[in-house]
C-alpha cells in the first residue's frame, strides 16, 4: 500500500502558544487504512489532522519542525463543526457539494454525477435543493462529509464526524469510512467514539499531550 503521509519527529506549535501541541510525532499512513485517533480533549488529535492535511501551519499559523512528507494528491478534511465549513456562497446543497469539484475545473456533467453519487452515499439526496443554512446539525454534517468526498480525496481527515449525528447515522458514517478506504483512500478519523471507531478502523493511535502513547490495532489500543 502506498504511503500518503509520513511524519518523522514532527512537532507543531501554535502561534503565541507556550508549548507545542504536537511533540516529536513519527507516523506513516497508507492508502486503504482507516486510522482512528483518540485521546482526551487537548491531546492533539485535531491538530494532528491539520498537520496531516498540510493545513497547519499554512492556514492556521504556527510553526512545524521535523519532517513531514505529504504525498497525497488531494486531502480533504471534515471538522466537528460543520457550519464553519460552509462556503457561504451557495444557496443549495447541490451547489455546496459541487463547490469543490467545480473549483478543480471539472466538466459540469462529471460534477453532477459526483455530487449525486456522494449525496446518495450519505443518504441525503432529498436535500439537494435545500438551502444549507436551513439544515439541521445532522443533515449539515452529512452534507459536509459529502462535500469532502466530492473532492475524491486520497487522504480523508475527519474530526469527530459523528458529533452531530444520531446513532444510526453515526453507524452508517463509520461504515462509509471503510468503503472510502476500500476505494483506495487513507482515512484518519479523530474521535471520542472509540466503540464505533474500533469497528471501522484498521489501526488506532492514542495521543496524550501531543505525543503518541499507543499505536496498534483498535483492540490493542482501546482495550
Partner 1 sequence: MIGFRPGTSPLHRAHPYTPLAVAGALLCLVFAARTPSAVGALVLAALALPLVGGVLGLVARPALMLSLPTWILLLVLHGILGPDPHHALGPIAVSEPGLARALVLGGRITAILFAFLSVLATVSPARLVEAMTERGVPFSATYLLVSTLTLVPRMRARAAQILEAQQCRGLRLGGSPIARVAALGPLVLPLVLGALAEVDEQVLALDTRGVAKGIRRTAMEPPPDSAPDWTVRWLCLIVVVAAWGDRMLGALQ
Interface ranges with partner 1 (CB under 8 A): 53, 55, 59-60, 74, 76-77, 84-92, 94-95, 98-108, 111-112, 147-148, 151
Distance CA 219, CA 41 (A): 21
Cell, residue 201: 478502523
Cβ nearer to partner 1, comparing 94 with 174 = 94
Minimum distance from residue 103 beta carbon to partner 1 (Å) = 4
Minimum distance from residue 58 beta carbon to partner 1 (Å) = 8
Cβ nearer to partner 1, comparing 32 with 54 = 54
Cβ nearer to partner 1, comparing 27 with 56 = 56
Minimum distance from residue 195 beta carbon to partner 1 (Å) = 28
Minimum distance from residue 102 beta carbon to partner 1 (Å) = 4
Cβ nearer to partner 1, comparing 52 with 198 = 52
Question: What are the residues facing 64 on neighbouring strands?
Answer: 12
Query: What phi-psi label fits residue 210: left (phi over 0), alpha (psi between -120 and 50 degrees) or beta?
Result: left
Please report where in the chains the cell 494528491 appears, as a residue. Answer: 73
Nearest one of 165, 172, 212, 171 to 203, comparing CA atoms? 212
Q: Phi and psi of 53, rounded to 5°? A: -85, -5
Amino acid at each position: 500500500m502506498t504511503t500518503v503521509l509520513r511524519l518523522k519527529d514532527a512537532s507543531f506549535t501554535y502561534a503565541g502558544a507556550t508549548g507545542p501541541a504536537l511533540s516529536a510525532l513519527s507516523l506513516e499512513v497508507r492508502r486503504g487504512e482507516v486510522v482512528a485517533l483518540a485521546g482526551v480533549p487537548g491531546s492533539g488529535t485535531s491538530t494532528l489532522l491539520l498537520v496531516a492535511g498540510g493545513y497547519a501551519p499554512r492556514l492556521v499559523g504556527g510553526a512545524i519542525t521535523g519532517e513531514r512528507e505529504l504525498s497525497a494528491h488531494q486531502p480533504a478534511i471534515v471538522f466537528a463543526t460543520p457550519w464553519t465549513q460552509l462556503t457561504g456562497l451557495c444557496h443549495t446543497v447541490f451547489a455546496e457539494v459541487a463547490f469543490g469539484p467545480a473549483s478543480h475545473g471539472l466538466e459540469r456533467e462529471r460534477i453532477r454525477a459526483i455530487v449525486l453519487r456522494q449525496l446518495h452515499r450519505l443518504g441525503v439526496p432529498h436535500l439537494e435543493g435545500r438551502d444549507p443554512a436551513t439544515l439541521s446539525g445532522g443533515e449539515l454534517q452529512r452534507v459536509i462529509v459529502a462535500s469532502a468526498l466530492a473532492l475524491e480525496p486520497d487522504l480523508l481527515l475527519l474530526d469527530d464526524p459523528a458529533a452531530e449525528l444520531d446513532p444510526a447515522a453515526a453507524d452508517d458514517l463509520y461504515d462509509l469510512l471503510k468503503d472510502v478506504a476500500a476505494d483506495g483512500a487513507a482515512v484518519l478519523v479523530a474521535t471520542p467514539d472509540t466503540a464505533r471507531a474500533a469497528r471501522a478502523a484498521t489501526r488506532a493511535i492514542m495521543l496524550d499531550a501531543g505525543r503518541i502513547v499507543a499505536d496498534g490495532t483498535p483492540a490493542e489500543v482501546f482495550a
